[in-house]
A and B are shown apart, each in its own frame.
Chain A
Amino acid sequence: MNVTKIGNRFLNSRFMNAVCSERAGDAAATIALLSTTTKDLVNCAYYTTQSLHNKKIPEEKRKFVAGIDLSNGILNVLSQLTIGMYIKNKTPVAFDYLFRNSKMSKNAYNAAKGGFSLIVTLVVAQVLLKRILTPFISTPMAHYFKEYADKKDAATKKTNNEQDKNTKTAKDDKTEKTKETEKTKQTIATEKTETQQNSKVSINSMNTNLSSPFKSFEGLLKVK
């Protein structure tokens, strides 16, 4: 197995040529931001779904926990794309202003500028935005999500109850109808039987009646 050949075939493929390149460094910041945002979005969807269906979390707390996950995700994405980007672009300007009278050498100045950008962006994005502002706003947001979920559940339950009720009534009606139908059938059947019986009786009586003229003929025949 020649690893170099296999690797070359994969890296030189049309798909990899379209996805990765050595010139992408020009858009590195944008790619980093998009990847963080995508991760946050997928995290949000995953954690929210998992929390909602986690039977180990007490039921009365489940919706709030899921609500926190959902609102955290939405707020993280929005804040990174707006405030995060703004802070990232402005830190070099802020550094130039704050350290305008610095006596550092050029290399030390550039290194300190890099360190300042790094720590400010990290602290603002990861601590201030994600861990202070987001939970602060997401906690009440989660409450509203929970209430919305509760209302939806209540509405669903109500609809289900009504449906159950309707189904029950329909069943009862059906049962009654079935009973009635059966009854009617029975009645019909009984009447039929009666009619048949009656008709038998009448036939019998008819037979009796029918026999008498022959008897008179017999009599008549015999006389000659």
Chain B
Amino acid sequence: MPGISNINRTNFAKAFNRGYVYGRASASNVSSADAKWYEAALIKFKECQGETFNNLVTAVGTAGVAPIFIIHNPLAKEDKQTKEYTAARQPISAIITLGAQVPIMDAYNKALEYAATRYHFDKCDLSAAPPQSYLKNGIKHLYKDYIYQCAINGIEPEKKKAKMKEFYYQLKDEAFYRELKNLRESARNGNVPEYLAKSMTADGHIKIEDMISPKDLKDAERQLLEHYFKEVFGLDVADLGLGEKKKVDSLDALKKKAVKQAFKEKNIDIDKNLIKTIKTFVNENVDEVARMNVEEHLRRQAKVKVYSSNLYRKAKEELAEYQRKLIVEKVPNNEFQRLMKIKNDELFEGLRKHAEQLRETAPKSVPEGSLILDAAEADTLYNKINTKLTMGSADDKLIRHLRTSEGSTFDELLKSVQIKKWLTTRINKSEKYLSDFKQKSGLVVGLAILPFTCGLLNWAYPRIMEEWFPNLAHAKSASSEKKEAK
């Protein structure tokens, strides 16, 4: 069995640079400027994704399309009026579904999202990542303020949907950083809330199993697969030439035809026995690899934070020193503001240059336990500072806003990064759990409403037909009466 201690884990360096806000912002920033009209329409459909859209399409199909194919069906032997009578049931069914089932399911899903956000359940806690329905009022208020500001300043407001989405992300981030800040402070003060205390060990660190997200397990699975093929067959899976869409990144990928074909070209037959062997190997080691990856990731983050917080502290002291100098020289206020801004930008640029130099001179690897940054960690530090300069808001570029209060020792900062990792894992798991719970309990609720909607349809259908289409409802008796009259 190939050993796992020498697995290549340098890919994790790339993961460091995706902050919570910016990562999501870049993913949502889909520019359709260079897309054709039909491509833009498809992007719009993706944005409309949801239960309401599904129900609307279903209703259009039920009410508008199905009746045509019931009435004008050459294969059916019933008389035309019977077919018309039956076909009329479809639009009535669609209206009842839209009018009854949709609001009930909507209200049920909103209730679930509210409960998941408001109460800190162990399995589902979205207090740090509230869903859109929970933030609805906040988004509305922000948008109203935005429209008011645009009106005052004579600016053309941006498109409503895009702006509302932006406000949703803004509020979601604020909730995340607020919860993170509260948890970090409570950990420093020693009075952590119960839901965090459940995951803490006696020495104030967080249990590793509560910091392993489903994504970490998937990454571990991918690494183990790459390691297996390298050790047993001497093959680098990147050389298979499969491209982005058919990567060998999971056990399921091995079952795909294209992947099996690519392996066959390298004289490796992916049969059932081989898949079973690989599966056993992966299942035995995935938890341990995921744990090692997460521990190393956090240790590296804490090392970077130790270095960065020292760097920031020095910059803050230098800025404070400069400020004292300006006060002593009794510089006028507007000149004071201008000079402080120049000094701030200068210091920030200095931080970036320092990080760039460090990145160029950092060693590839350092002894274990050393606080010297290696090449990957120096790269992370550089990206952290550079991102604030290039993508951050005006507030992010202020020296005084750089965080230094989380601690200065390795142990303190390790606990601080552990809390963030615990929170993001908790959110990740909760979102997946809520999605699964909604789907399964939604089925039960849908079936429970069924007697109501079915009863309503069976009550309304014949009465509507009698009231509005009596000729269809009593076609046979009408025709027989006519015959008798003759």
Closest to B120 in A: A4
A108-B31, A139-B83 given as contacts; is B450 within 8 A of A43 (CB)?
A: yes
Closest to B77 in A: A143
B73 contacts across to A, CB distance below 8 A: 135-136, 139-140
A60 contacts across to B, CB distance below 8 A: 82, 476
Q: How far is the CA of A134 from the CA of B428 in the complex (A)?
A: 40
B61 touches A42 (CB 8 A): no
Q: How far is the CA of A49 from the CA of B124 in the complex (A)?
A: 40
Q: How far is the CA of A8 from the CA of B436 in the complex (A)?
A: 17
B39 touches A99 (CB 8 A): yes
A83 at the interface (CB under 8 A from B): no
| Partner-contacting stretch, out of B286-294, B342-350, B438-446 | B438-446
Write the nearest CB–CB distance from B393 to chain A, whole angstroms: 22
Q: How far is the CA of A217 from the CA of B454 in the complex (A)?
A: 110
B122 touches A58 (CB 8 A): no
B119 touches A3 (CB 8 A): yes
A22 touches B30 (CB 8 A): no
Closest to B63 in A: A131
Cβ proximity bits A105-137 to B, threshold 8 Å, 1 near / 0 not: 101100111111011001100110011101111
A50 contacts across to B, CB distance below 8 A: 454-455, 458
Q: How far is the CA of A25 from the CA of B439 in the complex (A)?
A: 11
Write the nearest CB–CB distance from A21 to chain B, whole angstroms: 7
Which interface class (under 10, 10 to 19, 20 to 34, 35 or more) fits A?
A: 35 or more
A132 touches B440 (CB 8 A): no
B57 touches A139 (CB 8 A): no
B46 touches A111 (CB 8 A): yes
A64 touches B78 (CB 8 A): yes
Most chain B CB within 10 A, of A7, A22, A58, A99, is at: A22
A7 touches B42 (CB 8 A): no
A104-B35, A112-B39 given as contacts; is B443 within 8 A of A38 (CB)?
A: yes
Closest to A17 in B: B123
B459 contacts across to A, CB distance below 8 A: 56
| Partner-contacting stretch, out of B64-72, B147-155, B168-176, B367-375 | B64-72
With beta carbons under 8 angstroms apart, the residue of B35, B49, B76, B115 that contacts A140 is B76
A28 touches B86 (CB 8 A): no
Cβ proximity bits A4-36 to B, threshold 8 Å, 1 near / 0 not: 100110011000100111111100100110010
B138 at the interface (CB under 8 A from A): no
Q: How far is the CA of A84 from the CA of B176 in the complex (A)?
A: 39
B60 at the interface (CB under 8 A from A): yes
Write the nearest CB–CB distance from A102 to chain B, whole angstroms: 7
A25-B214, A103-B34, A115-B43 given as contacts; is B57 within 8 A of A127 (CB)?
A: yes
B280 at the interface (CB under 8 A from A): no
A3 contacts across to B, CB distance below 8 A: 115, 119
Q: Within residues 46 to 98 of chain B, which ones have a CB less than 8 A from any CB in chain A?
A: 46-47, 49, 53-54, 57-58, 60-62, 65-66, 69-70, 73, 75-78, 82-83, 85-86, 89-90
A96 at the interface (CB under 8 A from B): yes
A20 touches B436 (CB 8 A): yes
A105 touches B34 (CB 8 A): yes
Write the nearest CB–CB distance from B133 to chain A, whole angstroms: 18
B42 contacts across to A, CB distance below 8 A: 111-113, 115-116, 119
A107 contacts across to B, CB distance below 8 A: 26-27, 29-31
A51-B458, A114-B49 given as contacts; is B121 within 8 A of A19 (CB)?
A: no
A68 at the interface (CB under 8 A from B): yes
Write the nearest CB–CB distance from B279 to chain A, whole angstroms: 14
Q: How far is the CA of A102 from the CA of B42 in the complex (A)?
A: 13
A61 at the interface (CB under 8 A from B): yes
With beta carbons under 8 angstroms apart, the residue of A54, A61, A142 that contacts B85 is A61
A61 touches B82 (CB 8 A): yes
Q: How far is the CA of A114 from the CA of B228 in the complex (A)?
A: 33
Using a CB–CB distance below 8 Å, which chain B residues touch chain A? 26-27, 29-32, 34-35, 39, 41-47, 49, 53-54, 57-58, 60-62, 65-66, 69-70, 73, 75-78, 82-83, 85-86, 89-90, 115, 119-124, 195, 214, 245, 428-430, 432-433, 435-437, 439-440, 442-443, 446-447, 450-451, 454-455, 457-459, 461-463, 466, 473-474, 476-477
**A-B CB contact pairs (8 Å), 30 listed:** A11-B123, A20-B433, A22-B429, A22-B433, A23-B214, A31-B439, A35-B439, A35-B440, A46-B451, A50-B458, A56-B463, A58-B473, A65-B89, A107-B26, A107-B27, A111-B43, A112-B42, A112-B43, A114-B49, A115-B46, A122-B58, A126-B57, A126-B61, A131-B62, A132-B66, A135-B69, A136-B75, A139-B73, A140-B76, A143-B78
16 more A-B residue pairs beyond the given contacts A50-B454, A60-B476, with a C-beta to C-beta distance below 8 A = A4-B195, A22-B428, A39-B446, A47-B454, A54-B462, A57-B462, A68-B70, A107-B26, A108-B43, A112-B35, A115-B42, A115-B43, A115-B46, A131-B69, A136-B69, A139-B83
Using a CB–CB distance below 8 Å, which chain A residues touch chain B? 3-4, 7-8, 11-12, 16, 19-25, 28, 31-32, 35, 38-39, 42-43, 46-47, 50-51, 54, 56-58, 60-61, 64-65, 68, 92, 96, 99, 102-105, 107-108, 111-116, 118-119, 122-123, 126-127, 130-132, 134-137, 139-140, 142-143
